[in-house]
Amino acid sequence: QVQLVESGGGLVQTGGSLRLSCVASGLTFDNYVMAWFRRAPGQERQFVSTISWSGKRILYAESVEGRFTISRDNAANTVYLQMNSLKPEDTAVYYCAASTDYGLAAHYPYWGQGTQVTVSS
C-alpha cells in the first residue's frame, strides 16, 4: 500500500519561510518522479514543482520560481519543498504526489493527504 505523508505546514507571516516534507512508503522511491501541488480555497489544484527520479531535472510553476526549491533524498524516501519569501497568495493545502512519468503532463496515481500552509499579511 502506497502512502505519502506530508508535514511541515503551518502559519507564517508574509516574507517568512517553511519547509514541507513528504515521506513515501510502499513504493520504490527512486523509481518515481515526485511533485508538489497546491489547492487554495475555491480554486482548482495547481502544479507547484516536480523533480525527476535522480533529482537532476526540476520544473517550477512560474508563480513560485526563485522562491521555492524542491529536493529529494532517495535514501530517506523523502521529497522536500523549501518555501521562502512566502506571500498571502501561497496560502493553500499542499499535496505531494508520485508518478512514473516526468513532465507537466504526467499522471499522478499517488497522493498525500495534504498539509495546510497559511501566510498572513
Among 1, 18, 3, 2, residue whose Cα is nearest residue 80: 18
The mean per-residue pLDDT over the stretch 38-62 comes to: 96
The mean per-residue pLDDT over the stretch 57-75 comes to: 98
Q: What angle do CA 69, 73, 112 make, to 5 degrees?
A: 75
Q: Looking at residue 104, what is its pLDDT?
A: 87
Question: For residue 68, what are the β-bridge partners?
Answer: 83
Q: Looking at residue 84, what is its pLDDT?
A: 98
CA distance 89 to 61: 14
Q: Looking at residue 19, what is its pLDDT?
A: 98
What does the pLDDT look like over 78-94, one tens digit per residue? 999 999 999 999 999 99
Residue type, 90: D
For CA atoms 66, 70, 17, 43, the dihedral sign is positive
90 and 12 Cβ atoms separated by less than 8 Å: no
Q: What angle do CA 7, 11, 13 make, to 5 degrees?
A: 130
55 and 72 Cβ atoms separated by less than 8 Å: yes
